Structure 1
Amino acid sequence: MIFTLYGDYIRHYGNVIWIGSLIRFLQEFGHNEQSVRAAVSRMGKQGWLESEKKGNKSYYFLTEQGRKRMDEAAERIYKLESPSWDGNWRLLVYSIPEEKRHLRDELRKELVWSGFGLLANSCWITPNPLEKQVENLIDKYDIGPYVHYFQADYKGKKEQQELIEKCWDLEEINEKYSQFIEKYSQKYIIDKNKIEKGEMSDGKCFVERTMLIHQYRKFLFIDPSLPHELLPEQWLGDSAAALFSDYYRTLAEPATRFFESIFENGNSLTEKDMQHDFLRHPLMSENKTNV
């Protein structure tokens, strides 16, 4: 949830937040002060957050590693349709020595999150240009000598679809999208009517928008964001993205009002500065009249 708040709000408001504001926001979701402080401490130890003191107040901000992760996540969360394909596959092959075997599980998790699929033992593939992400992983884990990265076209006897089926379970992912659409299409209509009639508080809109993002971002861990040329005909990912976008925009203005009423970052950002930065948000810049 803290990642969600940083990704959708805090990074658009100077990337810094007073711990008191963070605690107040998370109380809306049933989390107490102790659990928030414990989570923030863990995120600091994991390299996602740093802190600084101003007087008797503590402020937290994303590290460089955290900002890179948020930028990568945002690019995928807020896309409105599947990317196109240049026809090339990217292959990553590694051979990490036994004394560094603790890095293997971490690397596997990172590769899955970035959208790679396991073709064979220690051989991962993707049709997407993920050179930047690969460079970041190599630097993060200091595994340059053990990793090889290629770009190639497929010359095997199997169809591209068979290659995809070996690496990803698109049927299962499509079913998850179907469940998301079934659940949130009805909620979207109900909440839109409530907002239009003034029957939904700013705080409730903040909670609903944050939970919407929190649920939708889980697709980052299962959907490799394949180009549309490689997807099945009845793919529901784009429909889910459109529903997410419409629902998000409907909740945006009241949710943002609630956020700004509580937010404190200890910097000299004015309300005008914060609004300007937030309007550069991917979904907001698509159609600002909906904000």
Structure 2
Amino acid sequence: MLTYLGNYVLGRRVAVFSGSFIDAFARLGVGEHAVRSTLARMVDRGLLARHRAGRRMHFGLTPRSEAILLDGEDRVWRRGVLNTDWDGTWTVLAFSLPESWRRVRHDLRARLGWAGFGSLGNGTWIAPSPVDVPALVDGLGLDGRLKVFTGPAQAPTDVPAMLREAFDLGPLAAGHRAFLRRWDRPEPLPGAPDDLARYLWMSAEWLELVRADPRLPVEHLPDGWPAVRGQRVVMELRRRWEAPARGIADAAMECVEVRPPPRLRPPPSSSARSPRSDA
């Protein structure tokens, strides 16, 4: 669903008819009940907003979902999974939270994983790049509970060994190899009904890999790292399918325009006189 929204709704002031979602996901073998349940859950989580037009229900993005999709677009299509220009900078983060903060700890770890951190144990996490940690942990109430440092590793640190310790490379490599087995062929997914279905499947599967991949420096990864070939395959298939998939999606998508909320007029400054001040 996030892939569909990012591809065809992000950047447009529209809300999409629920039936359009159902028709699009039927191409992937997803039933109507599952689509409606997903839409409802996303509304509950603040990722979609309902818009009624007559008797029809439409769904549009929220500021929260727009921010998530823009971040995902940057991660997937601009940065990718290959860190080929690493300057040697690490971000090191340490924290210690009380047991009663279990939910906060879970949210923090999820955010650290998305930002490319791996755990060295005992509350110490590392990422092979500068990370805007204040923005990453915003809203978690962790002021004074984190210690953050950036800089290069110093001798006698064995960087490849540290990567193997902090990041589980085996499942990462296995995920990329599974992607290549499905998509690195002349005619991928021949049983799909059209290029929209193929592009959604491919983009969603690649997004899952990007979410799990910490974008490690290629120079310290094992020879023949499969993400190198995977990144190339993704870009080739995007050039092949993006335009026809968008044509199919746009033709099948019923939308209504959504106006942005009106801007509130700022209150008068304290130095401004009230209209009654001369009375």
Q: TM-score if structure 2 supplies the norm length?
A: 0.81
Partner of 1:34: 33
Distance 1:164 1:66, change over 3 A: same
After superposing the two structures, state which structure 1 stretch, 2-11 or 51-60, moved more: 51-60
Matched, 1:209 2:199: yes
Report the aligned-residue RMSD.
2.6
Alpha-carbon separation, structure 1, partners of 2:31 and 2:177? 34
1:258 equivalent in alignment to 2:251 = no
Residue 127 of structure 1 is matched in structure 2 by 128
| 1:96 Cα offset (Å) | 2.6
Is 1:18–2:17 an aligned residue pair?
yes
Identify, as 1 or 2, the structure richer in helix.
1
Question: Percent same amino acid at aligned positions?
Answer: 23
Distance 1:15 1:149 in 2: 41
Q: 1:80 to 1:137 in 2, by over 3 A?
A: closer
Report what 1:153 is aligned to. Answer: 152
Aligned to 1:283: none
Aligned to 2:163: 164
Aligned length: 257
Alignment of 1:89-128 (within 5 A): 89-128=90-129
Contact 1:17–1:263 (8 Å) recurs in 2:
yes
- The one-letter amino acid of 1:101's match is R
Give the secondary structure class of the aligned counterpart of 2:257.
Answer: coil
* TM score, norm. by length of structure 1: 0.78
Alignment gaps of 5+ in structure 1: 195-199, 270-291
Residues 98-120 of structure 1 deviation map (CA, whole Å, 9 limit, x = unaligned):
33222212221222122110012
State the shift of 1:60 in Å.
2.1
Unaligned stretches of 5+ in structure 2? Answer: 260-279
Instruction: Report the residue type matching 1:49 in the other structure.
Output: L
Give the C-alpha shift of residue 258 in structure 1. Answer: 0.9
Match of 1:68 in 2: 67
Which portions of structure 1, spanning 4 or more consecutive aligned residues, are displaced by more than 6 angstroms? none
Offset of 1:65 from its aligned partner? 2.6
Deviation at 1:81, TM superposition (A): 6.6
> Aligned equivalents of 2:45 and 2:158: distance in 1?
42
Distance 1:94 1:52 in 2: 42
Amino acid at match of 1:149: V
Deviation at 1:15, TM superposition (A): 6.0
